């Protein structure tokens, strides 16, 4: 199974901010960085050549993994602006420096690009029931067409059984 290159935008405490962090697009101007969710992907990036690591770090990636509740292919909607800024910086760094001749190791750029391209914001539930209040489970009602179809199917089956019994000489 391949690596998952999903990443999250992580807010950094002001005293921990360094050159790898970028200012958030949010009005509070917090420092943020991108961290891979999969520890194996972070390890693969750390094992690449220094040039590739520098390209990612200068764009705002941190080489440490993060714990996340997001599933593969999704990210938090509030991270969209920071995510876009970091990815734009990353692609600008790649165009400027290039990766040709650099050692990639287990880090797969094509899979990384595919995961970035297909990632979508996670849809938040519109309304959640209050804790302690269970939503009543109501059985689905059959439509009129469904009821008629069931009755006709049952009648055909009953007629077929009666004809079979009559043909064998048994009567009900």
The 10s digit of each residue's pLDDT in 97-108 is 888 888 888 999
pLDDT for 30: 76
With respect to residue 25, please indicate whether it lies within any of the assigned structural domains: yes
Number of structural domains in the chain:
2
pLDDT tens, 2-24? Answer: 788 999 998 887 665 555 555 55
Cα separation, 16 vs 25, in Å, equals 18
Write out the residue range of the structural domain in which residue 159 sits.
141-172
Q: Are residues 38 and 107 in the same domain?
A: yes
Give every CB contact of residue 87 below 8 A, 6+ residues apart in sequence: 59, 116
With respect to residue 85, please indicate whether it lies within any of the assigned structural domains: yes
């Amino acid at each position: 199974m391949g690596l998952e290159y999903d990443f999250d935008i992580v807010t950094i405490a002001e005293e921990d901010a360094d050159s790898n962090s970028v200012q958030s697009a949010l009005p509070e101007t917090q420092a943020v960085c991108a961290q891979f969710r999969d520890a194996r992907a972070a390890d693969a990036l750390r094992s690449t050549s220094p040039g590739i690591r520098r390209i990612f770090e200068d764009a705002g990636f941190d080489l440490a993994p993060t714990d996340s509740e997001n599933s593969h292919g999704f990210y938090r909607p509030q991270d969209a602006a920071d995510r876009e800024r970091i990815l734009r910086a990353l692609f600008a760094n790649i165009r400027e420096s290039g990766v040709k001749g650099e050692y990639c190791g287990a880090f797969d750029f094509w899979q990384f690009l595919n995961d970035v391209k297909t990632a979508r914001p996670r849809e938040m539930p519109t309304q959640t029931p209050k804790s302690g209040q269970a939503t009543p489970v109501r059985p689905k009602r059959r439509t009129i067409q469904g009821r008629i179809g069931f009755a006709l199917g049952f009648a055909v089956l009953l007629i077929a059984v009666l004809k079979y019994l009559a043909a064998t000489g048994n009567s009900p």
